[in-house]
Copies of this chain bind each other. A is one copy, B any other.
Amino acid sequence: MTSKQVKALAGAVRTAAGAVRPVPGARITGGLLHHWQVRNGAATIPHTIEQLRAAGNVANLSRLLEQDPAPYRGRYPFLDTDLYKTLEGLAYELGDGRAAEPVREFYDEVVGLLERVQAEDGYLNSFFQDPAAARKPWEDLAWGHELYNLGHLIQAAVAAARRMGDERLLRVAGRFADLVVERFAERGVCGHPEVEMALVELYRETGVRAYLDLAAAFVDRRGSGQIEHSIFSADYFQDHVPFRELPSVTGHAVRMAYLAAGAADVFLETGDRSLFAALERLWDDMVASKLYLTGGLGSRHSDEAVGDRYELPSERAYSETCAAIAVMQWGWRMFLATGGAKYLDVFERVLYNAYAVGLSEDGRAFFYDNPLQRRPDHEQRSGAEPGGEPLRRSWFGCPCCPPNIVRWMAQLADYVAAERDGALLIACYTPARITGERLDLAMETSYPWDGDVHLTVGRAPEEPYGIVLRVPGWARGATVTVNGEPHDAAPSAKRAEAAADSPGGSADGGWLRIERRWAPGDEVRLTLPMPVRAHGSHPHLDATRGALGIARGPLVYCVEQQDSPSAAVDDLVVGVADVAGARTGRRGEAVVLGVTAGAAPPPSTELYPELSLERAAITETAVSATFVPYFLWGNRGPEAMRVWVRSRTTDGKKAT
């Protein structure tokens, strides 16, 4: 396969400094992720196209071709990006042959509009090109989102070129990018990071070094306090401290994670080790103190901000869907840089929880923020946005999340496997066909509903080759057989380093490597035990003290009031033994958990009772409740929900 062939198939390509590289030729063939992709094509994409038309995103472009254009519709200067993200998703759909004809018509219509609307000099942004509004390009770098717009345009363009071989958008994006290279040669940076990732990708696609250099400059220009805004302070924009000196992920969560993902892309091409050191430090700090159990990032509605270390309130988790996608993008690039499995553990946690929850079961409604708790008296808010509405909505005035979900669903296959010289790595377990550089595999599994994975070798090289299986952090006692024989993998070998050339030397274990001479038809069976787990939390995390969270495999579970008929979910008291004894059952495809818990209604209504030395024992009654995967909550109407339930340790003994 030539380099050009690889590029024509890949969501991301061979990088200069990465320890591993993506496998462009994977295809998801069944299971949960396949269901998500089918739903994306059948429901979410048609819905999104309909909403984009209704909200005026398409008209914002087409009106610019008219003599006396109607005003720009919408409040935000970044509404073109919702088209771009949709186009990016459509490029995968069309390239993979999943899309129907109306989708291609929409794609062609919008691409055609963009070609015609683009200014002579390459500028393209329907908010600032508004002839009636007298706005000037680049007059408001802090809030104008023009480079953020360009970033999403580039990502759509690269996807179309690679997946469809359609280079029309790439020409549009390239002209705009060239204008930006000139305009921002010396100074200036966008209030909303995103273009950094895109410029590196455009460099990979075109080989034009100026794009990479500009991306690197954008990372390093932050921290000078040059981004001025009347409401938001410099930390909101990650402009209060140079990126390499940031003490922790901070400010607006989506901006932060896009910026870090872009910086990781810069590292992947430049090998700039001080940049990587900052990335590793920020990532580890985030995972150790700022991520929700669901993988969500962002604790504050106010400023949509990350929050302090250990500030992780359940009911007010902001955990924006876009931040979930950004964390996955960042984590994937950290994995490419190092081969470290720990990054994929987070990637997977986000994928199945903080990201997946953002979409309704029917694929036509969205969360903007993704709380881990809904209180029984939570008030419906009317009209407030973003994030005011507790249950999923069909669209938003700031609709950044829905098309982000669309593009990510469409490209999931890009994250199934990776390669390095002499080995194929399985990053994500799903029914799939994987066409590697030298080895092909067919994967069958019911993951994430169980942990049995069955791999069948197709094409294989003559010489010994490695198949490297990810062992998630939660999996204890993973076993593997090759052609029915137990594979001799000593525990120490299981934690072996996948990539010895990891630049930071930090990529931890989590891999199970099988190296041998493979023949077509060879079978590998991996068993990842999936007991139901109880998770506590760090003692500094006040919001979940005295509570436990339930998980199984990569899935976080929650209890909705509909599934706790005998007790309010706020009154459930669950012990570790209750969790260990949970019974798995099915609701459709999904595995649900039957838990026998205690119910301890409050003995009085006093808010802050005075404590005496002799505490009255709380008497519980035994009740049953069913816990469902968190990503499935909120599909049956607005009732109370909890991920974190009161733990028995705190609240007395269970009545026997």
Chain A residues numbered 179-212 whose CB sits less than 8 Å from any CB in chain B = none
CB contacts (< 8 Å) of A651 on chain B: these are 539
Chain A residues numbered 302-359 whose CB sits less than 8 Å from any CB in chain B = 302-303, 308-311, 313-316
Bound form: Cα–Cα A474–B545 in Å: 27
Q: Which of A232, A250, A608 has the most CB of B within 10 A?
A: A608
Main secondary structure of the interface of A (DSSP, over half): loop
Instruction: Report yes or no: B288 in contact with A612, Cβ–Cβ below 8 A.
Output: no
A279, CB-defined interface residue at 8 Å? no
Contacts A607-B287, A607-B289; A233 near B600 (Cβ below 8 A): no
Chain A residues numbered 279-294 whose CB sits less than 8 Å from any CB in chain B = 287-289, 291, 293
Bound form: Cα–Cα A298–B611 in Å: 25
Instruction: Report yes or no: B375 in contact with A309, Cβ–Cβ below 8 A.
Output: yes
CB contacts (< 8 Å) of A533 on chain B: these are 610-611
A271, CB-defined interface residue at 8 Å? no
Residue in B closest to A608 when the chains form the complex, CB atoms: B535
Bound form: Cα–Cα A383–B547 in Å: 37
Instruction: Report yes or no: B303 in contact with A580, Cβ–Cβ below 8 A.
Output: no
Instruction: Report yes or no: B235 in contact with A382, Cβ–Cβ below 8 A.
Output: yes
CB contacts (< 8 Å) of A131 on chain B: these are none
Number of copies of this kind of chain in the complex? 2
A94, CB-defined interface residue at 8 Å? no
Interface string of A73-107 (1 = CB under 8 A from B): 00100000000000000000000000000000000
CB contacts (< 8 Å) of A490 on chain B: these are none
Instruction: Report yes or no: A576 in contact with B612, Cβ–Cβ below 8 A.
Output: yes
A606, CB-defined interface residue at 8 Å? yes
The segment from A8-16, A30-38, A134-142, A642-650 found at the interface with B is A642-650
Instruction: Report yes or no: B240 in contact with A382, Cβ–Cβ below 8 A.
Output: yes
Bound form: Cα–Cα A605–B287 in Å: 10
Instruction: Report yes or no: B379 in contact with A235, Cβ–Cβ below 8 A.
Output: yes
A384, CB-defined interface residue at 8 Å? yes
Instruction: Report yes or no: A232 in contact with B315, Cβ–Cβ below 8 A.
Output: no
Instruction: Report yes or no: A288 in contact with B544, Cβ–Cβ below 8 A.
Output: no
Residue in B closest to A373 when the chains form the complex, CB atoms: B542
Interface string of A581-619 (1 = CB under 8 A from B): 000000000000000000010100111111111010000
A496, CB-defined interface residue at 8 Å? no
Chain A residues numbered 606-656 whose CB sits less than 8 Å from any CB in chain B = 606-613, 615, 644, 646, 649-651
Bound form: Cα–Cα A288–B474 in Å: 41
Instruction: Report yes or no: A382 in contact with B547, Cβ–Cβ below 8 A.
Output: no
Instruction: Report yes or no: B609 in contact with A234, Cβ–Cβ below 8 A.
Output: no
Residue in B closest to A644 when the chains form the complex, CB atoms: B542
CB contacts (< 8 Å) of A535 on chain B: these are 608-611
Instruction: Report yes or no: B613 in contact with A580, Cβ–Cβ below 8 A.
Output: yes
CB contacts (< 8 Å) of A248 on chain B: these are 377
Q: How far is the CB of A66 from chain B (nearest CB, A)?
A: 27
Bound form: Cα–Cα A287–B606 in Å: 9
Instruction: Report yes or no: A247 in contact with B577, Cβ–Cβ below 8 A.
Output: no
A122, CB-defined interface residue at 8 Å? no
Bound form: Cα–Cα A580–B314 in Å: 32
Q: How far is the CB of A134 from chain B (nearest CB, A)?
A: 18
A444, CB-defined interface residue at 8 Å? no
A437, CB-defined interface residue at 8 Å? no
Bound form: Cα–Cα A537–B605 in Å: 10
Interface string of A502-534 (1 = CB under 8 A from B): 000000000000000000000000000000011
Instruction: Report yes or no: A650 in contact with B545, Cβ–Cβ below 8 A.
Output: yes
Q: How far is the CB of A87 from chain B (nearest CB, A)?
A: 30
Q: Which of A247, A382, A539, A577 has the most CB of B within 10 A?
A: A539
Interface string of A434-458 (1 = CB under 8 A from B): 0000000000000000000000000
A543, CB-defined interface residue at 8 Å? yes
A495, CB-defined interface residue at 8 Å? no
A540, CB-defined interface residue at 8 Å? yes
Interface string of A377-417 (1 = CB under 8 A from B): 11101111001100000000000000000000000000000
CB contacts (< 8 Å) of A234 on chain B: these are 382-383
CB contacts (< 8 Å) of A548 on chain B: these are 611
Q: Which of A300, A373, A538, A615 has the most CB of B within 10 A?
A: A538
CB contacts (< 8 Å) of A609 on chain B: these are 535-538
A41, CB-defined interface residue at 8 Å? no
A174, CB-defined interface residue at 8 Å? no
A-B contact pairs, 21 of them (CB 8 A): A233-B381, A247-B377, A293-B608, A301-B301, A302-B302, A308-B315, A308-B379, A309-B377, A311-B316, A313-B543, A316-B316, A373-B542, A474-B610, A534-B610, A535-B611, A539-B602, A540-B570, A543-B543, A545-B546, A548-B611, A576-B611
Interface, chain A (partner B; CB < 8 A):
75, 230-236, 240, 247-248, 250, 287-289, 291, 293, 300-303, 308-311, 313-316, 373, 375, 377-379, 381-384, 387-388, 474, 533-549, 570-571, 576-577, 579-580, 600, 602, 605-613, 615, 644, 646, 649-651
Known: A537-B609, A542-B543, A576-B612. 16 other contacts (CB 8 A): A287-B607, A300-B301, A300-B302, A308-B315, A373-B542, A535-B611, A536-B609, A536-B611, A539-B602, A542-B544, A546-B650, A548-B611, A577-B613, A615-B649, A649-B650, A650-B650
The 5 closest A-B pairs by CB, nearest first: A301-B302, A546-B546, A545-B546, A233-B384, A534-B611
